[in-house]
Structure 1
Amino acid sequence: MTLQTDVFGEWTAEVLAVRSGRWQPERDRAFWQEKAAHYDAGQPPLPNTVAWLRERLTGAASLLDVGAGTGRLTLPLAGAVGRVTALDHSPDMLAVLRAKGPPAYLHLRQQELADALQDPTLPPHDAVLSAWSLAYLPDLRGALTGLLRLARRDLFLLEDDGVGSPHVTLRRQLAGQPRPTRASSLRRALHALGAEPEHLQIPEERELTFPDTAALLAQARLPLGAAEALAFLRPHLTPEGEGWRYRWTFDVHALHVPLGTRP
């Protein structure tokens, strides 16, 4: 017999336990105010994920990107549809997107997601994308119900299950921290709402370069001696002059809920 647990209650408890308090909108906006100017430089490209999404957006007339931020996914997907709405509650992140000169058919909308989901002036779109944008929303049931209502044809959720860079994964293990399982929780939540998501793990690659070993170890911040930390990282390292090229692969968990008939 399988023990049934309350995925929505678990999600709320985990969000409210976050010490940064980013579930409070003003704190999350302050976080992004500090990060916005340098956000893009710290993010890897996601060519495989973009290709997967573009293929599934074929024939869609409109796209709503929830938590669009600086347009990391919005802009490479914009050419696949005729009308795009980029929704985010951070004016600073949207300012970065605006400075990139988006096409005229890309509409920027600054609004709290919880408010937008109840706002009759936000119309349904053929496709809705939520990429890493639900992590600090306590009301997961309300968020998913609203997103499903706004998606005429397809709902896409992108998340991870806590397996990213080797150094961060090891830091969590050594500190005894549980691995985040947001992608698994979203899948369970969608099932609880009667949706049947397709679940795909899309491999992507991240690469960082460091001028020397000291810079590499400073980035990794492993609670190990230098020799032990370097030995752990070695399978992912390629020497480059006096420094290193640090490369690893990770999976983007993509959940796709098909809702309507495709042309």
Structure 2
Amino acid sequence: MFAAWAAQVRAAPSGRADPARDVAFWARQAAHYDAGQPALPNTVAWLRGRLRGARSLLDVGAGTGRLTLPLAPAVPLVTALDHSPDMLAVLRAKGPPAHLSARCQGLQDALRDPTLPPHDAVLSAWSLAYLPDLRAALSGLLRLSGRDLLILEDDGVGSPHVNLRRHLSGQPRPQRASQLNAALSALGHPPDHHRVQEARELTFPDLPALLAQARLPLPDAEALAALRPHLTHDGAGWRYRWTFDVHVLHVRMGARP
């Protein structure tokens, strides 16, 4: 299982298993990252409920604070960990509360650093995909989790156009949530597996703009027929809406087998 994960990560054409390349990737993305991400109100509400009573939260791969900032009011002490200085600069520019500290450090280094203490809750949202040594990463996150480990991922079911593009190209659907579930179970910490439904909506002035975004290898008429169930026209343009699941793997550290 862990060897298969490592092979999958190293085979990624982006080469982001190399920490330097991943940092460079986020340097290019940081300024416009937030604009391209959907809001996750249901996920935030779900996490707030699980964080009730926690005294500290470590957000691993916190980035621009997409989840860290809305969760910060629920926890007295918050640490935002990320290896991208550019992403953390965006977080700092948002004026985080005084009880939130940003720490620029890669996870592998952080796990060996005695100055990073355990936290009641550890959150890792879409932050493990390019770490080849999954066993070490999960074992380290479990050590840092005093009460709860919360891992957010997906199983490759995203927007309708991306799903269709993968199908047409014969590209296998990544199933990281299922892989992480199995890996945690193999380490003796089977998680509770929850699905939180969210919605995403994009707007386009006309159909050519939508088709340019979708980039489907189909004639325009066929592409529109495939996307039609998700489209509405409101007079000003086209609304493209779909729902998706956020998978939450929750390990309760007091509930070990």
In structure 1, how many angstroms separate the alpha carbons of the residues matched to 2:190 and 2:8? 24
Q: Secondary structure at the match of 1:79?
A: helix
In structure 2, how many angstroms separate the alpha carbons of the residues matched to 1:242 and 1:175? 33
Q: 1:25 aligns with which of 19, 33, 40?
A: 19
Q: Percentage identity across aligned positions?
A: 75
Q: Tell whether 2:171 aligns with 1:177.
A: yes
Q: 2:110 aligns with which of 116, 140, 143?
A: 116
Residue 214 of structure 1: aligned partner: 208
Deviations 1:3-23, CA, capped at 9 Å, x for gaps: xxxx10110000000111000
Deviations 1:23-57, CA, capped at 9 Å, x for gaps: 00110111111110000000001011101100010
Residue 243 of structure 2: aligned partner: 249
Q: Tell whether 2:129 aligns with 1:135.
A: yes
Give 1:118 shift: 1.2
Residue 78 of structure 2: aligned partner: 84
Q: Tell whether 2:48 aligns with 1:63.
A: no
Q: What stretches of structure 2 of length at least 5 have no aligned partner?
A: none
In structure 1, how many angstroms separate the alpha carbons of the residues matched to 2:144 and 2:82? 16
Q: Tell whether 2:143 aligns with 1:155.
A: no
Q: What stretches of structure 1 of length at least 5 have no aligned partner?
A: 1-6
Residue 95 of structure 1: aligned partner: 89
Residue 38 of structure 2: aligned partner: 44
**Number of aligned residue pairs:** 255
Residue 199 of structure 2: aligned partner: 205
Q: Which amino acid aligns with 1:71?
A: G
In structure 2, how many angstroms separate the alpha carbons of the residues matched to 1:187 and 1:211? 41
Q: Which amino acid aligns with 2:113?
A: D
Q: Tell whether 2:66 aligns with 1:54.
A: no
In structure 2, how many angstroms separate the alpha carbons of the residues matched to 1:208 and 1:230? 15
Moved over 3 A (4+): none
Residue 232 of structure 1: aligned partner: 226
In structure 1, how many angstroms separate the alpha carbons of the residues matched to 2:58 and 2:108? 15
Q: Secondary structure at the match of 2:28?
A: helix
Residue 260 of structure 1: aligned partner: 254
Q: Secondary structure at the match of 1:13?
A: helix
Give 1:70 shift: 0.2
In structure 2, how many angstroms separate the alpha carbons of the residues matched to 1:239 and 1:224? 22
Q: Which amino acid aligns with 2:11?
A: A
In structure 2, how many angstroms separate the alpha carbons of the residues matched to 1:214 and 1:242? 15
Give 1:173 shift: 0.5
Q: Secondary structure at the match of 1:195?
A: coil
Give 1:242 shift: 5.4
Q: Secondary structure at the match of 1:121?
A: coil
In structure 2, how many angstroms separate the alpha carbons of the residues matched to 1:65 and 1:216? 35
In structure 2, how many angstroms separate the alpha carbons of the residues matched to 1:37 and 1:43? 12
Q: Which amino acid aligns with 2:250?
A: H
Q: 1:11 aligns with which of 1, 5, 25?
A: 5
Give 1:107 shift: 0.4
In structure 2, how many angstroms separate the alpha carbons of the residues matched to 1:70 and 1:93? 5
Give 1:221 shift: 0.4
Q: Tell whether 2:190 aligns with 1:189.
A: no
Residue 3 of structure 1: aligned partner: none
TM-score when normalising by structure 1: 0.96
TM-score when normalising by structure 2: 0.98
